C-alpha cells in the first residue's frame, strides 16, 4: 500500500515538472478582447432593422444598377435620399444581424386574443385580411400610406392581440 502511494506521488510530481518545461502552444493562448470603444454599434429603427433612406424598390426587370434583389424586386439607389424616417410599405430596411436588405410589405402578422378580435381590428384600424390560418391567426394589410410603427404600437396596445409583427421580405437562404 505504501509503495502504491509513493508511486502515485512520484508520478504526479514528474508530470507537474514536465508540464512546466513544455513550450506553450500559441494556438491555445487566450486572445485579447477588443475594447468596447472600438466597436461601432448601429442603432436599429425597429426590431433588428434599420431604415435605408437612400435606397428604394423597383421592378427587377427595369432596374439598371441593383444594390440587392429581394423576391423579384430590385433594391436600387434612390434618385434623392429621403429624410422621412417613418416606416411605410415598400420601405427598404437592412437587417443589422445579417447585413441583408429587406422590404417592408405593409402587412402585419397577428395572433388575436379571440376569434372576434380580428374583425374588431379590421374595423378599428382599417386593416384588410389578406390570409388567415385559423380563427385567431391572420395576415392583415395596413391602409396605404400608414405609419407602420405607430400602427403596430396601437394594435399591440388595443388589447385585441396577443402578438403582432411587421412583415419584412428578406433574402431566402437555402440549405447547402
pTM: 0.69
d(CA 78, CA 58): 10
Residue 131 has a CB neighbour count (10 Å cut-off) of 11
Each domain of the chain, given as residue ranges in start order, spans: 49-170
Show the cell assigned to 158.
388595443
Q: How far is CA 15 from the centre of its chain?
A: 51
Each residue's pLDDT expressed in tens, for the chain with a length of 176 residues: 555 555 555 565 556 555 555 556 655 555 555 444 444 567 878 889 999 988 988 888 877 788 888 888 888 888 887 777 889 998 999 999 989 999 999 999 999 999 899 999 999 999 999 999 989 999 999 999 999 999 999 999 999 999 999 999 988 777 87
Contact present, 105 and 167 (Cβ < 8 Å): yes
Q: How would DSSP label each residue in the chain?
A: -HHHHHHHHHHHHHHHHHHHHSPPPGGGSPPPPPPGGG--PPPPSBTTEEE-TTEEEEETTT-SS-SEEETTEEEEE-SS--------TT-EEEETTT--EEEEEEEEEEEESSTTHHHHHHHHH--EEEEESSSSEEEEEPPTT--HHHHHHHHHHTTSEEEEEEEEEEPPP---
- Per-residue pLDDT, 93: 93
Amino acid at each position: 500500500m505504501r509503495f502504491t502511494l509513493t508511486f502515485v506521488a512520484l508520478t504526479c510530481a514528474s508530470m507537474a515538472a514536465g508540464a512546466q518545461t513544455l513550450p506553450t502552444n500559441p494556438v491555445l493562448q487566450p486572445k485579447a478582447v477588443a475594447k468596447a470603444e472600438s466597436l461601432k454599434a448601429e442603432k436599429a429603427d425597429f426590431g433588428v432593422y434599420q431604415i435605408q433612406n437612400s435606397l428604394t424598390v423597383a421592378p427587377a426587370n427595369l432596374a439598371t444598377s441593383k444594390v440587392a434583389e429581394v423576391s423579384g424586386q430590385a433594391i436600387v439607389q434612390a434618385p434623392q435620399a429621403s429624410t422621412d424616417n417613418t416606416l411605410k410599405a415598400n420601405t427598404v430596411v437592412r437587417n443589422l444581424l445579417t447585413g441583408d436588405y429587406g422590404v417592408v410589405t405593409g402587412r402585419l402578422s397577428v395572433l388575436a386574443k379571440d376569434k372576434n378580435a380580428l374583425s374588431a381590428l379590421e374595423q378599428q384600424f382599417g386593416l384588410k385580411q389578406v390570409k388567415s390560418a385559423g380563427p385567431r391567426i391572420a395576415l392583415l394589410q395596413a391602409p396605404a400610406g400608414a405609419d407602420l410603427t405607430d400602427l403596430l404600437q396601437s394594435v399591440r396596445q388595443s388589447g385585441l392581440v396577443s402578438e403582432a409583427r411587421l412583415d419584412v421580405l428578406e433574402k431566402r437562404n437555402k440549405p447547402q
